[in-house]
Structure 1
Amino acid sequence: MGKYDPLRDYLRKLKTDEVELSFAEMERKIGYMLPKSASLPQWWANTTDPAATHVQRKAWGDAGFDAFLIAGADRVSFKRVQSTRSAP
């Protein structure tokens, strides 16, 4: 089990296409403190490069989300890349 798998699993179960989580909420989900570098936008940068080795990016990417740091708020907005919900 990867360090960020609980975050991935949480995002996969969401019925909404967007959610904001505080660093504290994510830390409770994963059971670890986020690194100091999580306060930098680069840590949350999204990539489609299959060779990328950043396990945190793989977690939300595998769940179908992109992540966007909300500067100065210790919060992150996760937005679904492609909705898997049926159109009404």
Structure 2
Amino acid sequence: MSKYDPLSGHLRRQRQGELELTFAEIERILGAMLPKSAARQQWWANTTDPYTSQVQRKAWGDAGFDAFLIAGKDRVRFKRVR
């Protein structure tokens, strides 16, 4: 079980094709703080790198979403991809 499974479950329950969540909302869903690196665009990248572990990307990807950091706003837009 991943720390990010609650986010995946939350996204799976969404009916709309796009939604925005603040960092605070995501942290409430997770029951834990996001790492400081979540403030960087790369942390929310939707591409996979076979040389690093990317459990957070798997969470929204498995739920059928891509994630996009809204710079300077501590917000993330999730868009359904399938």
* TM-score band, normalised by shorter chain: over 0.9
Find the aligned partners of 2:10 and 2:18 in 1 and give their Cα distance.
12
Q: Which runs of 4+ in 1 moved over 4 A?
A: none
Which residue in 2 is equivalent to 1:58?
58
Aligned amino acid, residue 43 of structure 1: W
Cα-to-partner distance string for 1:20-59 (whole Å, 9 max, x where unaligned)? 0000000000011000000000000002x48462000000
Which residue in 2 is equivalent to 1:42?
42
The count of aligned residue pairs is 81
TM-score, scaled relative to structure 1: 0.87
Structure 1: stretches of 5+ with no match in the other structure:
83-88
Tell me the percent identity: 67
The DSSP-based 3-state class of the residue aligned with 1:42 is helix
Aligned amino acid, residue 55 of structure 1: V
> Is 1:11 matched with 2:45?
no
Find the aligned partners of 1:6 and 1:21 in 2 and give their Cα distance.
14
TM-score, scaled relative to structure 2: 0.93
Larger radius of gyration: 1
Structure 2: stretches of 5+ with no match in the other structure:
none
The DSSP-based 3-state class of the residue aligned with 1:46 is coil
